Structure 1
Amino acid sequence: MRIACVHQGYELYGSDRSFAESVAALRAAFPAAEIEVVLPRQGPIVEILKPHASRIVFEPLWVLRRQAMLRLATVEMARLPAALWRAWRRMRGSDLTYINTSIIADYALAARLLPRKALLHIHEIPERILRKVLVALMRWSRADLIFNSRATRATFGDPPAIDARGRRTHVVYNGVAGPLALPVTYDGSRPLRVLLLGRVNRIKGQEVLLEAVASLPAGLRNRVEVRLVGGAFESVEREQALAELVGRMGLTGHVEVLPFVSDPTDHYRWADIVAVPSRRPESLGRVAIEAMGWGRPPLVSAIGGLVEVVADGETGWHVPPGDAKALAGKLSEIIQRPELWRGFAAAGRTRYETLF
């Protein structure tokens, strides 16, 4: 059996880890299969793919990113025929092509020419024009579909479980391997440790968390410590701007800005809670899932798939997206009333084991 696995990234953030875990699952299910992994370039993901891939190849992919739409529709259009030819040739020679995710346009387009050979794994919630483009691409492809949450499926028009052409649709939460839950040690006698893991961009809400912490009364601000861990997508300037913002807001003694790490274990061990203050919809929220696995209650924006992951008032907390005032209010309660959330860690671990 020949399986092609195509991924648009090369780092080790949530979608990259989910892809690597899918490749590992395919290897476990088909131990004798020839599994070829296709990536756009070298990167940290390669090392965790090597044990499971028969080979890893690097070649250009026609990836629909919001910030590159104009360039793709103009100067990059000349590359599309060659990209389609490469995709069709690989898919024709494979028994199954696993496409991760819907933004890989060349493979989604080629899938229509080879019915029932492609599986399109969708785990993004696009907005505005990109949503229209990706929904049209999904429909054109006629590939079988996996959505990583009900929120993602709803964004793409809630396709039926089986449509008139026999295309199948499933909702499957990303499984996340995790450790034994750590004990809860916060009792209000020391500063609350808040961890935010994620790419440095406006979507992830680092600025919202900073604004919330800065707005706390001085007495409460002295009772919180924050770690912002992550890097920007090929933008050192954005990382520097975040560090400078911490200084301008007078939070240097309260907030650390730390680089991306491939293994965030030490950060989860340090934390008491994990913040996911996303401004825009998350298709699921891997960090929130990992946090519950570690026994670290997540404080998340009530948006997208995050509301499916975290049970508000049971395993963590919901706040309106982009609302620094509401986030500050919830932080105040968490700092001052640890007895109110003492059972969240155990409940979160149970939810993690049950669903993810």
Structure 2
Amino acid sequence: MHNAFEPDGLDQNVKMIVPSLFLKKHYQAYLPNADIAIVPNGIDLKAYQNNSVPLQKSDLNLSPEKKTIFFAGRISPDKGVTLLLQAFEQLLKERNDIALIVVGDYMSKSKGEKAAYQREVRELAERLKPHCQMVGGVTPEDIYNYYSLADLVVIPSQFQEPFCMVAIEAMGAGKPVLVSTRGGMTEFVQEGDTGFHLQEPMTPETIAQDIHNALASPDLNDVALRGQRCVEEKFPWEKVTQRFEEVVNNWFK
């Protein structure tokens, strides 16, 4: 199971694999007799660390001197994109040495509330040009190129993130992350050690302050390095596969 939902109809004695302790606790509350094992998601570290020809900020018409804030994910309310854009707008009133890159499909064929939200995101981003660049959707094979542009990756999720691949991808690429404390990300993004946490409640003002503080931190590079080591130790596919095999073998030995 990768997402949190109410498991109606599942056998109380079901065996289940989840990627985080947060998700394990969620399902234990519904299925106290279930056998729930944690196997985290993994990444191909070589893809994120062996990028011989990375993108340059100038490729997106951004000055190399700009501190680049980076977001990747769904353009939907639960990901907090408008909050981030509003926070960036606040920061621009105080400093002109920053840029924002948003990776995500903001022109999808959504309808109703999601379509209205994406329209709001586009309008906000348009207002913030040329300091904000909306890249659009990027394939999983190409996303690692874009992490090379980031000075800080911000993940302002408004829902209980069960895990968050973007966080471990960014950390694996050696980039510092600033994340929501909602859900499972705090299991591997520890404040001041392997990353930074967003304050609660999240508002444009608090997010702006947290971004400013993270970029100004004298430990920023060390935090990024420790985050990268954390991913190297816990989330390479080889270790994830080994853990999966151990769980399955233990269940069916």
Q: Does the pair score TM above 0.5?
A: yes
- CA 1:338–1:168 in structure 2 vs 1: closer, same or farther (change >3 Å)? closer
- CA 1:260–1:124 in structure 2 vs 1: closer, same or farther (change >3 Å)? same
Decide whether the 8 Å contact of 2:75 with 2:105 is kept in 1: yes
Q: Which residue of 1 aligns with 2:173?
A: 294
Structure with the greater relative contact order (CA < 8 A, sep ≥ 6): 1 or 2?
2
Spell out, residue by residue over 1:77-106, the C-alpha distance to the aligned partner (whole angstroms, 9 max, x if none).
Answer: xxxxxxxxxxxxxxxxxxxxxxxxxxxxxx
Decide whether the 8 Å contact of 2:178 with 2:214 is kept in 1: no
What is the aligned residue count? 212
Q: Which residue of 2 aligns with 1:176?
A: 43
Decide whether the 8 Å contact of 1:277 with 1:321 is kept in 2: no
- CA 1:181–1:332 in structure 2 vs 1: closer, same or farther (change >3 Å)? farther
Q: Which residue of 2 aligns with 1:308?
A: 187
Is residue 2:69 matched to residue 1:201? no
Displacement after TM superposition at 1:123 (Å): 1.2
Decide whether the 8 Å contact of 1:297 with 1:348 is kept in 2: yes
* Greater C-alpha radius of gyration: 1
Identity of aligned residues (%): 27
Decide whether the 8 Å contact of 1:193 with 1:224 is kept in 2: yes
Decide whether the 8 Å contact of 1:202 with 1:279 is kept in 2: yes
Q: Normalization by structure 1: what TM-score? A: 0.55
Q: Which residue of 2 aligns with 1:352?
A: 231
Counterpart residue identity of residue 255, structure 1: C
Decide whether the 8 Å contact of 1:302 with 1:321 is kept in 2: no
- Gaps of at least 5 residues in structure 1 are 1-121, 126-130, 183-188
Among 17, 22, 32, which residue is 1:146 paired with? 17
How many angstroms apart in 1 are the aligned matches of 2:50 and 2:84? 25
Q: CA RMSD in A?
A: 2.3
Q: Which residue of 2 aligns with 1:257?
A: 134
SS at match of 1:257: strand
Q: Which residue of 1 aligns with 2:55?
A: none
SS at match of 2:37: strand
Spell out, residue by residue over 1:223-245, the C-alpha distance to the aligned partner (whole angstroms, 9 max, x if none).
Answer: 21111111156328454432112
Counterpart residue identity of residue 154, structure 1: K
How many angstroms apart in 2 are the aligned matches of 1:234 and 1:170? 37
Q: Normalization by structure 2: what TM-score? A: 0.76
How many angstroms apart in 1 are the aligned matches of 2:178 and 2:50? 17
Counterpart residue identity of residue 128, structure 2: L
Q: Which residue of 1 aligns with 2:202?
A: 322
How many angstroms apart in 2 are the aligned matches of 1:300 and 1:169? 26
How many angstroms apart in 1 are the aligned matches of 2:217 and 2:205? 20
Q: Which residue of 2 aligns with 1:342?
A: 221
Decide whether the 8 Å contact of 1:280 with 1:321 is kept in 2: no
- CA 1:261–1:339 in structure 2 vs 1: closer, same or farther (change >3 Å)? same
Decide whether the 8 Å contact of 1:196 with 1:228 is kept in 2: yes
Q: How does 1:1-356 map to 2 (within 5 A)?
A: 122-125=1-4, 131=5, 134-139=6-11, 142-158=13-29, 159=31, 163=33, 168-178=35-45, 179-180=48-49, 190-216=65-91, 218-220=93-95, 222-231=96-105, 234-235=109-110, 237=115, 238-247=117-126, 250-262=127-139, 263-319=142-198, 320=200, 322-335=202-215, 337-356=216-235
How many angstroms apart in 1 are the aligned matches of 2:121 and 2:192? 31
- CA 1:323–1:154 in structure 2 vs 1: closer, same or farther (change >3 Å)? farther
